[in-house]
Structure 1
Amino acid sequence: MQGFSSEPGTHGPVTEVPPEGMRRIYRWAAMIAVGGFLFGYDTGVVSGALLFVTDDFRLSPTEQGTIVSVLLVGAMVGALCAGRLADALGRRRAVALEGAVFLVGTAIAATAPAYWTLLIGRVVLGLAVGAASATVPVYLSEISPTRVRGRVLSANQLMITAGILVSYLVDLAFASSRDWRLMFALGAVPATVLTLCCLLVVPESLPWLVRRGRWRQAREVLDRVLPPEEASRVVARLRNEVPGPRRKPGEEPERPVGWRTLLTPGVRPALAVGLAMAVIQQFGGINTIIYYAPTIIEKTGLSASNSIFYSVFIGVINLVMTVLATRLIDRAGRRTLLLVSLAGMALLVALLGLSFIAGWNSELSLVCMILYIAAYAGGLGPIFWVLVGEVFPPRVRALGSSTATTANWIANFVVSQAFLPLAAAIGQGQTFLVFAVICFLGLLFVARFVPETKDRTYEEIDAALQARFGGPGGGRGEAKEPARRG
């Protein structure tokens, strides 16, 4: 298996990882991806818990909305700080700290005696959700062999959708007892697993260790996935290839990168793709359906009880299609799945909007909604997180991921706050037509600017980006991309 990521400048200089080494890499990826599960669980569980919190604390509509949206505000801050944190502490310690913050936020929310305490708990959870959403893709990218990098990175989205589905099922299981505190409290289980796995099992990212001259620890990581002689050979080569003057053992070989680095000509194409895909993923309308699915389904004429049931069904579709995307992403490629996904989303959300405007039967509206979610989960949903881990240069990968993820959370917040007022002003069907136009514009952006990243090292990805953006070696939109490697 080609490409265990150890070289600062590429995704994969190691030519062969034995099966036992690959099994370890997959285990590490699964443990770190629990951060994605918590992302999904803590954003989804509030939809059912809020029904009973509202009765206990006698919340106004504004207070109900704040309980939901304040997590998004915390996530913006958490994502913005995550890049610096991951560069300073290392990827493993950063994720362990985020797991601890999940535990603190869960404890505050589950034991909250009043509205304001619950609000604080949701803010703390938001900080952890945002930070994890930025850090997890970076770690997954840096441990991934080239040929399965898409599959490993999409594990993050797979766990997000699993977390959302589990949160819906937990809400359904405890709805009869009205125990909203237990709904929140169960999030402590995966948070504990994440923290302990990061502290006791998962190793540090190899590129992070190499860039800081921590050769003994780097060798220990390599020994866990490679035969001893191969690990020695890789370490010797890396010592010769790391740029810069010779340094004493343990000496830090590079200074922390700043935000301005993202605006340099060599990084700008990656930043443009990261920011644009972050906005397209949210402005395409997906979270209006995830957050407001029961409300939207009720508008089709179905009862409230049926609305809750279909919300769980939507969660199942979301998970199943994400599993399918995970299987296809290293075969069909990122770009192909993105184009098909956005085309399907544009068509289906347009039909959903027309079904409301024309008053078509509720079953047709529900089918459009489910197929729209399937189109999203089979492409745009997981591939955004894959691209965030692939397009940025290794030295600024954490900072770039942090920036793109922050933009994603800002767009999430804007859409969530604007959906109901916009639907009230111009109509729910017309609002879905706006989402259809955005999906179509996203399709055009991907067709013009997003290269294929499947089976490519960072240098090949960068060359393709520069070509598409007219940078060095490129030419005004002609994608003079390197040939794909088998």
Structure 2
Amino acid sequence: MYLCRFNAKFYKLSRENTLSKIIIIGKKMSLIDKNVAFYSLIAAFGGFVFGLDAANISGAIRFISSEFELTSSQTGTVAGIALIGVICALFITGPLCERFGRKKVLLAIALAYSVSTILSSTAVSYEMLVIGRFIGGVAFASITVSAMYIGEIAPADKRGKFVSTNQLMIAVGLLLAFVINYFLIKMMGDISWINNDNIWRYMLGAELIANVIWVTLIFFIPESPRWLIMKGRNEEAKTILAKISLAYQIEPTITEVTASINLDKKNSILNQLKDLFSTRMRFVLVLAVVYAVVQGATGMNAVLFFAPLVFEQVGMSVQDTFMQTIVMGLVGVISTIFAIAFVEKLGRRFLTLGGLLLVVVAHGSTWFGFSQVTYEFDQSVMMKIEKQFTQENYDIERLKPLVGKVFKSDVDLKVQLAEIFNKKELPLVSGIVINASIQGVNAGMVLFGIFAFLAAFNLSIGPILWVIFSEIFPNNVRSVALPFAALVQTIASWSVSEFFPWQLEHLGVSNIFLIYGCIGLFGLVLMFFILPETKGKTIEAIEKELVTA
């Protein structure tokens, strides 16, 4: 009986001991998750600044075009030059990250954003604006560096969620900028010091506040422990790992990373490039390139950088187009939150394929909505235009030759308008004329298409691309592979933003979205056959699966 009492007491103490340990581990895990989330959000804050810039330029572009009397090609350059800056930065991002570490490179990028904002918002010429935008493009490389950093500090089973914060921060930045732009447009008629000539300066200059905040926050994050291990600074790495992992995970992590690094300890940048393009890396490289091209070329930058121009094609007023961009921003944020919540549950493959299917449906809807459009000029249309022209001090008599005419496409109409108005006037009057004269547009189909595409992009290929990039490349080539993959994506994105104004002028809005839809369909078919599932796996385990011996 005494033995039974002793056993019962021992069992009770043992169970209480175990429960205490579980509670302690649970608290530790909670603190670890908070630390990783905090560091990830700060690293991804560059995405927030990027979102601000992308949305601000979309609101400012028509006023910039008027201010500097730009051609459609120059307008495309103002939006696209930033991505040229990204391309240039990607050639040096890898070596800089290897030499100075992820944290210092992020700090340099944040400072570059500040320089870009000051130059862009105070530009006195087209050339000065382009230089400022180019420097901002160099800073856009933050998305690649933050994806690398987050991928190296986040636990394998939550890496997708934390890397996806990049896209969430972009979405939040977009939303905030759309809200700012809308209220600036609304205030323009009521406040004398905001007008068509300077409103774009306020739009672009608003980014400086975010830049200063990011520079300050970067001082609160640690260096990547993987980089410290690579540099032989294991004690510093242990201190940081203690904040982002459980005690029993520290030594195995150091051992695993060290073993991976030691295999290629003397691997130069040139050797890394040779290895990246070797036969054994062929599948990984093809997968990265296909994903990058599809994500970049399905039209997101056209919608982001030129959103008001797209919405005016539906027949909306300028103020209404900016209101729609706020809705667009909300859709982006909600969709990204969904992606973060389910990226570990549903997996990368399911979200990618489902998202691409929705991209195809969305672009098909937009194409169909615009396919039957005509632009007709009768007396009622002229009265609508005259009301707007009177407010903006334009002479309605210049449009009298268009009375009785019907244009079968926006391309034909814009050719005619270009003969009537000069380069300073055209960006400001084209929206008014289109808004009043458009007939046959299925606004419901177009708006569904635009918003469905935004939802599809933000819950799938937008954030998942960076998750995939942070996972599929082995440690021995990561410093060159991530920038290379981002380079391919950037070139694809640049081609969209650079040529969209020209395409809008020469191909028409419906044909543009048809092209984007075909690219999405191509990606869907290809990804179905080649995209593996990587959720819950360490970088080293993924390397063993995807890289041939």
Using structure 1 for the length normalisation, give the TM-score: 0.85
Deviation at 1:241, TM superposition (A): 4.3
The aligned residue for residue 362 of structure 2 is: 348
Q: Which has the higher contact order (CA 8 A, sep 6+)?
A: 2
Counterpart secondary structure, 2:449? helix
Deviation at 1:405, TM superposition (A): 0.9
For 1:84 and 1:99, locate their aligned partners in 2 and report how far apart those are by CA, in whole Å: 18
Residue of 202, 206, 210 corresponding to 2:221 = 202
Deviation at 1:232, TM superposition (A): 6.9
For 1:151 and 1:232, locate their aligned partners in 2 and report how far apart those are by CA, in whole Å: 21
Query: Is 1:41 aligned to residue 52 of structure 2?
Result: yes
For 2:213 and 2:477, locate their aligned partners in 1 and report how far apart those are by CA, in whole Å: 29
For 1:155-174, list aligned pairs within 5 A. 155-174=165-184
The aligned residue for residue 393 of structure 1 is: 474
For 1:80-95, list aligned pairs within 5 A. 80-95=91-106
Q: Which of the two has greater helix per residue?
A: 2
The aligned residue for residue 153 of structure 1 is: 163
Quick one: structure 1 residues 436 and 286, their matched pair in 2 at CA, closer, same or farther if it must change by over 3 Å?
Answer: same
After superposition, the C-alpha distances for 1:432-477 in whole angstroms (9 at most, x for unaligned) are: 22222211111112111110011112243234435xxxx55xxxxx
Deviation at 1:141, TM superposition (A): 0.3
**Please, which moves more after superposition, 457-466 or 411-420?**
457-466
Output the amino acid matched with 1:135: V
Quick one: structure 1 residues 80 and 133, their matched pair in 2 at CA, closer, same or farther if it must change by over 3 Å?
Answer: farther
Counterpart secondary structure, 1:134? helix
Give 5+ residue unaligned stretches, structure 2: 1-25, 189-193, 374-440
The aligned residue for residue 22 of structure 1 is: 33
The aligned residue for residue 456 of structure 1 is: 537
Residue of 185, 189, 201 corresponding to 1:181 = 201
Quick one: structure 1 residues 239 and 76, their matched pair in 2 at CA, closer, same or farther if it must change by over 3 Å?
Answer: closer
For 1:424 and 1:112, locate their aligned partners in 2 and report how far apart those are by CA, in whole Å: 26
Deviation at 1:60, TM superposition (A): 4.9
For 1:93 and 1:119, locate their aligned partners in 2 and report how far apart those are by CA, in whole Å: 26
The aligned residue for residue 383 of structure 1 is: 464
The aligned residue for residue 256 of structure 1 is: 268
Deviation at 1:72, TM superposition (A): 1.8
For 1:430 and 1:302, locate their aligned partners in 2 and report how far apart those are by CA, in whole Å: 20
Deviation at 1:112, TM superposition (A): 2.7
Query: Is 1:413 aligned to residue 491 of structure 2?
Result: no
For 1:433 and 1:102, locate their aligned partners in 2 and report how far apart those are by CA, in whole Å: 35
Counterpart secondary structure, 2:123? coil
Deviation at 1:230, TM superposition (A): 4.1
For 1:16-415, list aligned pairs within 5 A. 18-129=29-140, 131-175=141-185, 176=188, 177-178=194-195, 179-198=199-218, 200-225=219-244, 230=248, 233-234=251-252, 237=255, 241=259, 244=262, 253-258=265-270, 259-359=273-373, 360-415=441-496
Task: Number of aligned residue pairs: give it.
Answer: 446
The aligned residue for residue 6 of structure 1 is: none
Output the amino acid matched with 1:144: A
For 2:253 and 2:331, locate their aligned partners in 1 and report how far apart those are by CA, in whole Å: 45
For 2:294 and 2:328, locate their aligned partners in 1 and report how far apart those are by CA, in whole Å: 21
2:72, 2:501 within 8 Å by CA — same for their partners in 1? no
Quick one: structure 1 residues 149 and 100, their matched pair in 2 at CA, closer, same or farther if it must change by over 3 Å?
Answer: same
Deviation at 1:63, TM superposition (A): 3.8
Deviation at 1:38, TM superposition (A): 1.4
Quick one: structure 1 residues 193 and 270, their matched pair in 2 at CA, closer, same or farther if it must change by over 3 Å?
Answer: farther
Deviation at 1:225, TM superposition (A): 3.7
For 1:180 and 1:218, locate their aligned partners in 2 and report how far apart those are by CA, in whole Å: 46
**Please, which moves more after superposition, 313-322 or 232-241?**
232-241
For 1:157 and 1:345, locate their aligned partners in 2 and report how far apart those are by CA, in whole Å: 17
Quick one: structure 1 residues 16 and 391, their matched pair in 2 at CA, closer, same or farther if it must change by over 3 Å?
Answer: farther
Deviation at 1:361, TM superposition (A): 2.0
Output the amino acid matched with 2:216: L
For 2:177 and 2:466, locate their aligned partners in 1 and report how far apart those are by CA, in whole Å: 21
Counterpart secondary structure, 1:330? helix
1:449, 1:465 within 8 Å by CA — same for their partners in 2? no
Residue of 431, 439, 451 corresponding to 2:512 = 431
For 1:16 and 1:451, locate their aligned partners in 2 and report how far apart those are by CA, in whole Å: 34
Quick one: structure 1 residues 255 and 429, their matched pair in 2 at CA, closer, same or farther if it must change by over 3 Å?
Answer: same
After superposition, the C-alpha distances for 1:335-379 in whole angstroms (9 at most, x for unaligned) are: 001111111111221122122113452122212221122122111
Output the amino acid matched with 2:142: A
Quick one: structure 1 residues 275 and 152, their matched pair in 2 at CA, closer, same or farther if it must change by over 3 Å?
Answer: same
For 2:505 and 2:123, locate their aligned partners in 1 and report how far apart those are by CA, in whole Å: 33
Output the amino acid matched with 1:288: A
The aligned residue for residue 13 of structure 2 is: none
For 1:240 and 1:425, locate their aligned partners in 2 and report how far apart those are by CA, in whole Å: 56
2:292, 2:486 within 8 Å by CA — same for their partners in 1? yes
Quick one: structure 1 residues 418 and 23, their matched pair in 2 at CA, closer, same or farther if it must change by over 3 Å?
Answer: same
For 1:73 and 1:34, locate their aligned partners in 2 and report how far apart those are by CA, in whole Å: 21
Quick one: structure 1 residues 64 and 286, their matched pair in 2 at CA, closer, same or farther if it must change by over 3 Å?
Answer: closer
The aligned residue for residue 248 of structure 1 is: none
Deviation at 1:426, TM superposition (A): 4.4
Quick one: structure 1 residues 31 and 169, their matched pair in 2 at CA, closer, same or farther if it must change by over 3 Å?
Answer: same
After superposition, the C-alpha distances for 1:159-180 in whole angstroms (9 at most, x for unaligned) are: 1111122222222232322443
**Please, which moves more after superposition, 265-274 or 54-63?**
54-63
2:366, 2:510 within 8 Å by CA — same for their partners in 1? yes
Output the amino acid matched with 1:187: E
After superposition, the C-alpha distances for 1:192-220 in whole angstroms (9 at most, x for unaligned) are: 2322332x211111111112211121122
Quick one: structure 1 residues 19 and 112, their matched pair in 2 at CA, closer, same or farther if it must change by over 3 Å?
Answer: same
Counterpart secondary structure, 1:182? helix
For 1:364 and 1:238, locate their aligned partners in 2 and report how far apart those are by CA, in whole Å: 52
Deviation at 1:384, TM superposition (A): 0.8
After superposition, the C-alpha distances for 1:313-353 in whole angstroms (9 at most, x for unaligned) are: 11211111111111110111010011111111112211221
Of all paired residues, the percent bearing the same amino acid is 26
Output the amino acid matched with 2:95: R
